[in-house]
Amino acid sequence: MTLPLSVLDLSPVASGRPPSQALHETVELARSTEAAGYSRFWVAEHHNIASVTSSAPEVMIATVAAATSRIRVGAGGIMLPNHAPLKVAETFRVLEGLHPGRIDLGLGRAPGTDQLTAFALRRSREALAANDFPQQYSELLGYVDGFPDEHPFAPVVAQPTDVALPPVWILGSSLYGAQAAAAYGTGFAYAGHFGEADPAEAIRLYRGGFRPSGRPGDPDAPRAILAVAAIVAQTDQEAQVLGRAAALSMVRLRQGRPGPLPSPEEAAAHPWTAQEEQVAQAFSRFATVGTPDVVWEALQRRAKDADADELMVTTNVHDPAARRRSYDLLARVAGLRD
């Protein structure tokens, strides 16, 4: 059976284009990747980062789901500390009601932004300092499954009550996410496109500690997604040119000055310093760049080494047509469609 492939999209902003155009390109990419045979299309949550417009995943999920018909659509993810658990439960019950059987709820515990912006989102220094993901997750489930009678929120129920909460996936870029997903009996998605932990260790920890929750939508057995970065082109030269521009974007992000995705021409004209070259080299550890056969072989190896059930690919390049083409080439070599 072909290894399932899915998409993680950040609505990247390209230099020289209005940021809002990235939102429309996300919808077009969703249509394209659905036609190509991808299994899921997840959108991220980031705030106050000039290189992406993925600040309202719930809005994008609704829009993408309405523009497609088969592909599962979800959050990769909702950063739970930024949201009231009741609102998350309500939002995703509404989405499930509108698009039954097609919605995924990925949950993360990071803010998806800098500390000042996180404070602006949460409006409380106490909330900013808290590490209460377990309590938040328990509260979220309570609005769906019910609280104990003595709980102060026992009278509160997330509407609409005639639909289940979509399947929950806990995200992680460290070993904590693996442990949480195992303890709660959810799916687990590891951020292999930037996480510093060994993906194989994280997924092994998840599988070893997994305990089924028995909740509707949660898996009976461990289910692991590995997120990866990849850029595919017809020739290696073209792929490397696209990859160089993506590396410059990562350099700027690591330098604390994120901006729109640079074009290949901007990357070629950039006066690279030795330190920037080191950052670009580190980026190459996470991003697989090349022709379809080369990339697909490398991604299959990564999935096998990590014992992942599914790969979720993120591709950030300046030209939206090149981004769609990258996903299409990968789908063809992976055998997702004829």
Q: Give the integer Cα–Cα distance in Å for 244 and 200.
A: 28
Vertex 63: Cα angle to 57 and 69 (nearest 5): 120
SS3 123: coil
pLDDT recorded at residue 129: 57
pLDDT recorded at residue 223: 98
pLDDT recorded at residue 65: 98
Express each pLDDT in 83-141 by its tens digit: 999 999 999 999 999 999 999 999 998 888 888 888 888 766 665 556 789 999 999 99
DSSP 8-state code for residue 262: P
Residues 282 and 304 sit within 8 Å (Cβ to Cβ): no
Q: Which residues contact 100 (CB under 8 A, 6 or more apart)?
A: 163
Q: Give the integer Cα–Cα distance in Å for 96 and 264.
A: 40
pLDDT recorded at residue 82: 92
Express each pLDDT in 3-21 by its tens digit: 999 999 999 999 999 999 9
Query: Which segments within the chain are labelled E, that is strand?
Result: 5-9, 40-43, 72-79, 103-108, 168-172, 187-191, 224-232, 287-290, 310-314
pLDDT recorded at residue 196: 86
Q: Give the integer Cα–Cα distance in Å for 230 and 307.
A: 19
For the chain, the straight-line distance linking the first and the last C-alpha, in angstroms and rounded, comes to 15
Residues of the chain with pLDDT under 70: 1, 123-130, 338
SS3 318: coil
Inter-CA distances, 334 with 33, 155, 166, Å: 13, 50, 28
Half-sphere exposure of 257 (CA within 13 A, CB side): 5
Per-chain mean pLDDT for the chain: 94
pLDDT recorded at residue 128: 59
Residue 261 has phi, psi (to 5 degrees) of -60, 125
pLDDT recorded at residue 255: 87
